[in-house]
Amino acid sequence: MNDSSLLQKDRKHIWHPFTQARTDFGLAVVKKGEGAWLELEDGKRLLDLVSSWWVNIHGHANPAIAAAISEQAGKLEQVIFAGFTHEPAIDLASRIAGILPGDLNRVFFSDNGSTAVEVALKMALQSYSNRGYKRTKVVALQGAYHGDTVAAMSAGASSGFFDAYQPFLFQVHSLPLPHTWHEDANVEAKETAALAEAEQYFAEFGQETAALIVEPLVQGAGGMRMYRPSFLQALCAMARQAGVQVIFDEVMTGFGRTGPIFACEQLDFVPDIICLSKGLTGGFLPMSLTVTNESLYEIFLDDRFDKSLVHGHSYTANPIACAAALASLDILLDPACDRARKMIAAVHENGLERLRELPRLSRTRAVGTVAAMDLDSTESGYRASISSEIKKQAMENGLLLRPLGNVLYLMPPYCISEDDLNGAYGKIAIMLEKLVSGNAL
Ligand SMILES: *Cc1c(COP(=O)(O)O)cnc(C)c1O
């Protein structure tokens, strides 16, 4: 089947995510992937600088993960996870508990990041109702994104993505986020003001609040907005002081994105609940984990069923996905992967320095393997039209880039070569120069 007939069928039958099909530019059929590269139907190659929506940490079609999946599929593909268990899930849960900091030892399985967040919020809320306490409020950070299901949308309402559903969301207060960038002279003042507001919130509503949920160190879909660990640490300390459960949504930041395996390792604070997904299976299969500590788990132990966490999905702890996650962890924990992430961080550093010379570009920032900058277009936010222009030009230059509105970011798989990443920065510089000289930017 050739490219155009495949696309015709797609146009006829498929509803694509986060897409305005009427105005969105193009749709490309991907034939195969290898490492950091994708190959399209027409033979064109693209360097995947977004790790295919942030999931593909070890590149495409990694042979070790593929082999682990194949082996597990021939042994046990799926089994009911209530009343039954299996070795891949047990191995995965114990390995995850082993690498997570502190007492994060109790693992609940589900199958995407949004659901991991739903589970975390339900755990936190029910941990109070089970004990007869009335704590029903949730507090988040401005601009947060926690996923697309209803509780996750409620927590991320301030991102502005979900205005159509506003009447159906529950109220979540959002605290200011002192996000920062290279040579930001105001960072301290912003942090002080944000902490003062947080303090006021906890003084007033702390006793009614069940959970604080945050994306540690970098807000992803909200525009790769980065903030300092010291601020987060101070915020979390206030929440804990008020008896509020702290949830770290590490769906994006987990599995090495910010440098260490988990972003929370960059501060001296262990959350009560952590949500993991995207990089978990190396981008092969959908799976997520909500991990908490033993004392929260014990609040759900009772003679009555209604005190248990009444949540579960058909594919909970799918053995094949567990096998993929175990194989992905082997690669991640190899010292070579740590070196690769450090290489990426260093290339980002140099690359951003080069880009800073360009006009109409500001707020360069990076944490670990994530680099970002704002394009000073006349529009901002996710809907900025400069985004489609960049996507189009990037495709023509053999790069897969998908700006979040006017925010251009790079989040490559860890297997990307130094030359490929350096080359990408060179191409991006030329692309942006052309956009500026053509008055598109
Ligand atoms: C992507 C993302 C989610 C949602 O995960 P899905 O698997 O897309 O449902 C939640 N939180 C954060 C921080 C994310 O980046």
CA of 288 to the centre of ligand 1 (A): 10
CA of 115 to the centre of ligand 1 (A): 9
SS (H, E, C) the chain: CCHHHHHHHHHHHCCCCCCCCCCCCCCCCEEEEEECEEEECCCCEEEECCHHHHCCCCCECCHHHHHHHHHHHCCCCCCCCCCCCCHHHHHHHHHHHHHCCCCCCEEEEECCHHHHHHHHHHHHHHHHHCCCCCCCEEEEECCCCCCCCHHHHHHCHHHCCCHHHHHHCCCEEEECCCCECCCCCCHHHHHHHHHHHHHHHHHHHHHHEEEEEECCCEECCCCCEECCHHHHHHHHHHHHHCCCEEEEECCCCCCCCCCCCCHHHHCCCCCCEEEECCCCCCCCCCCEEEEECHHHHHCCCCCCHHHCCCCCCCCCCCHHHHHHHHHHHHHHHCHHHHHHHHHHHHHHHHHHHHHCCCCCEEEEEEECCEEEEEECCCCCCCCCCHHHHHHHHHHHCCEECCCECCEEEECCCCCCCHHHHHHHHHHHHHHHHHHHHCCCC
* pLDDT of 3 over the 60 cut: no
Q: What is the pLDDT of residues 146-176, one digit of tens each?
A: 999 999 999 999 988 999 999 999 999 999 9
The pLDDT, as a whole number, for residue 61 is 98
CA of 192 to the centre of ligand 1 (A): 29
Q: What is the pLDDT of residues 248-278, one digit of tens each?
A: 999 999 999 999 999 999 999 999 999 999 9
Atom of ligand 1 nearest to the CA of 288: 7
The pLDDT, as a whole number, for residue 385 is 78
* pLDDT of 2 over the 90 cut: no
CA of 146 to the centre of ligand 1 (A): 6
CA of 189 to the centre of ligand 1 (A): 30
Q: What is the pLDDT of residues 69-125, one digit of tens each?
A: 999 999 999 999 999 999 999 999 999 999 999 999 999 999 999 999 999 999 999
Ligand 1 pocket member 251 (CB < 6 A): yes
Ligand 1 pocket member 47 (CB < 6 A): no
What proportion of the chain, given as a percentage, has pLDDT over 70? 98
Ligand 1 pocket member 220 (CB < 6 A): yes
